[in-house]
Amino acid sequence: MSDTPITWFEIGTDRPAEAERFYGEMFGWSFEEQGGPAASYRVTAAGGEQGIGGAIRVTEGQPPYAIFYAEVADVADACRRAEAAGGKVVSPPRTAPSGLVSAHLVDPVGNRLGVFTPPTPA
């Protein structure tokens, strides 16, 4: 068994209200805006204590997507390991104002995935 859990997902769309309505009606998920007018990011607790959290991100002018994120101890190391295993880093490690560090990767067959390290508790 791995010690690298999948703990987040993201749905990218240029129709966030429609996606929010669909997932709300389908699964009973509710969303809270945590971005802003220029960078909407609608967060949901989704599965509560038994599932993973996630969000809908507005992606004007880009194709829709769904991506999962694995929680790792070191994002830069995960990027190195991905490349060594035949993957590619498509969005290098970046640190959000909250301290969360994340990167986007592509596996050898073309699937996109994310890795992240949560902020260190204060």
Q: Name the CATH topology of 6-117.
A: 2,3-Dihydroxybiphenyl 1,2-Dioxygenase; domain 1 (3.10.180)
DSSP notation for 33-61: E-S-TTS-EEEE-TTTTTS-EEEEEE-TT
CA-CA distance, 8 to 20, in Å (whole number)?
A: 16
Spans of the chain below 70 pLDDT: 1-2, 26, 46-51
Q: What is the pTM of this model?
A: 0.72
B/e letters for 33-54, b = 16+ CB within 10 Å, e = fewer, are eeeeeeebbbbbebeeeeebeb
- The residue extents of the domains of the chain are 6-117
pLDDT tens readout for residues 77-99: 999 999 999 999 999 999 999 99
